[in-house]
């Protein structure tokens, strides 16, 4: 395989993963024209059309999809060969791309990984904060943090990072106005804020399912934990927050734990990465560092377990 041929394959794979020639060019520090010409030369050499192009989007042809899957395997083998030769000898280097949910990424993941930048001068870290479940291969990611049950996947490896406990809280102003419930039954009729995703009032619905006849007056539904925290501090109502998010506001007395003995089953947190025979040094050191240091940040003790 000559160098031009390998460059064509790499550009083709990057174009598929990026979803457009323009974004692939940006990620590879090339012009869109250069990417387009490389793909065109590849198609000419293969004698097939790899992409169906319109003015608005590009889509793989059937032949392009088959070729893409073969190219992924070929590049994975090359990466594995590089990693095997360099294992134990090379310092972490290059760009490490990691996806994590917004708040947990800011509070518990980025503070751990920024230490690596000081330790390894040839390493760069690109954090992508998103609450959607990222496709590691399609999005060109090295690692991702997942909260909740993991879907079965033979293409990914997962390691448990910790558990997310949640606690019920309210602002002192809300409790002064409406009273502090002293039992689960006393929650009936209280105003509440819900973390709302995929048509569900998460956590509250779990509590309702476990406590027959319990109802609260949900006045506000939000799909963002930061906004939910702000609303709780403003006194809108009772809210469930992860311990790692709530602990700082308990300390500053902006929020107060309510019924600290009321605990639901914790949510599992994992780090996941694409299955490969050999991990690049940058990925391996990031995994080891997160497993060692992130659990302490995830664990914010609010009440009894």
Q: Does 253 reside within a domain?
A: yes
Same structural domain, 170 and 252: yes
Q: Does 3 reside within a domain?
A: no
- For the cut 60, the answer to whether the pLDDT of residue 88 exceeds it is no
Beta strands in 191-250 (DSSP E): 191-197, 200-202, 217-222, 239-242
According to DSSP, residue 171 is labeled -
Same structural domain, 14 and 143: no
Residue, of 15 and 212, whose pLDDT is higher: 15
Same structural domain, 149 and 221: no
Same structural domain, 208 and 276: no
CA distances from residue 205 to 24, 39, 240, 274 in whole angstroms, order as listed: 42, 50, 12, 33
* CATH number of domain containing 184: 3.40.190.10
Contacts of residue 112, defined as CB under 8 A and 6 or more positions apart, other chains included, come to 289, 290, 293, 294, 297
Q: Is 126 helix (H, G, I), strand (E, B) or coil?
A: strand
Q: Does 47 reside within a domain?
A: yes
Same structural domain, 173 and 159: no
Same structural domain, 118 and 194: no
Segment 65-74 shows an average pLDDT of 88
In this prediction the pTM is 0.63
Last residue of a domain, one of 43, 61, 85: 85
Maximum average pLDDT range among 48-57, 199-208, 226-235, 295-304: 226-235
pLDDT of residue 193: 93
Same structural domain, 160 and 293: yes
Last residue of a domain, one of 85, 115, 132: 85
Phi-psi region of 122 (alpha: psi -120 to 50; beta: other; left: phi over 0): alpha
Same structural domain, 151 and 281: yes
Q: Does 78 reside within a domain?
A: yes
In percent, how much of the chain has pLDDT > 70? 89
CA–CA distance, 258 with 193 (Å, rounded to integer) = 14
What is the total count of domains within the chain?
A: 3
Segment 185-210 shows an average pLDDT of 80
Contact 11, 27 (CB under 8 A): no
Q: Does 262 reside within a domain?
A: no
* CATH number of domain containing 68: 1.10.10.10
CA–CA distance, 53 with 232 (Å, rounded to integer) = 49
Q: Does 187 reside within a domain?
A: yes
Q: Does 305 reside within a domain?
A: no
The pLDDT tens digits of the residues spanning 213-267 come to 678 888 899 888 889 999 999 999 999 999 888 988 999 999 999 998 887 778 8
Same structural domain, 247 and 196: yes
Same structural domain, 199 and 222: yes
For the chain, what is the mean pLDDT? 85
According to DSSP, residue 248 is labeled H
55 lies in which domain range?
9-85
Last residue of a domain, one of 85, 118, 141: 85
Same structural domain, 98 and 233: no
Same structural domain, 135 and 284: yes
Report, in this order, helix, strand and coil percent for the chain, each rounded to 5: 45, 25, 35
Q: Does 80 reside within a domain?
A: yes
């Amino acid at each position: 395989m000559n160098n031009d041929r390998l460059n064509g394959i790499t550009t083709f794979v990057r174009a598929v993963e990026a979803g457009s020639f323009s974004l692939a060019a940006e990620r590879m520090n090339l012009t869109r024209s250069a990417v387009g010409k490389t793909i065109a030369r590849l198609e000419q050499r293969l004698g097939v059309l790899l992409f169906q192009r319109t003015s608005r989007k590009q889509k793989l042809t059937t032949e392009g999809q088959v070729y893409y899957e073969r190219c992924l395997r070929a590049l994975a083998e090359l990466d594995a060969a590089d990693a095997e030769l360099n294992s134990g000898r090379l310092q972490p280097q290059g760009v490490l791309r990691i996806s994590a949910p917004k708040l947990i990424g800011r509070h518990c993941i980025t503070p751990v990984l920024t230490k690596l930048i000081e330790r390894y001068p040839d390493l760069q870290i690109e954090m992508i904060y998103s609450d959607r479940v990222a496709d590691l291969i399609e999005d060109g990611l090295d690692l991702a943090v997942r909260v909740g049950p993991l879907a079965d996947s033979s293409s990914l490896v997962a390691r448990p990072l910790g558990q997310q406990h949640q606690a019920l809280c309210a602002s002192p102003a809300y409790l002064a106005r409406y009273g502090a419930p002293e039992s689960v039954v006393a929650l009936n009729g209280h105003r509440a804020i819900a973390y709302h995703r995929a048509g569900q009032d998460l956590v509250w619905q779990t509590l309702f399912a476990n406590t027959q006849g319990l109802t609260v007056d949900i006045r506000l539904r939000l799909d963002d934990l930061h906004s939910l925290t702000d609303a709780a501090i403003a006194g809108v109502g009772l809210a469930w927050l992860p311990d790692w998010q709530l602990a700082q506001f308990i300390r500053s007395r902006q929020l107060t734990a309510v019924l600290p003995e009321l605990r639901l089953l914790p949510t599992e947190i994992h780090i996941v990465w694409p299955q490969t025979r050999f991990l690049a040094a940058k990925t391996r050191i990031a995994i080891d560092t997160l497993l060692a240091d992130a659990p302490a940040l995830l664990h914010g003790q609010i009440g009894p377990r």
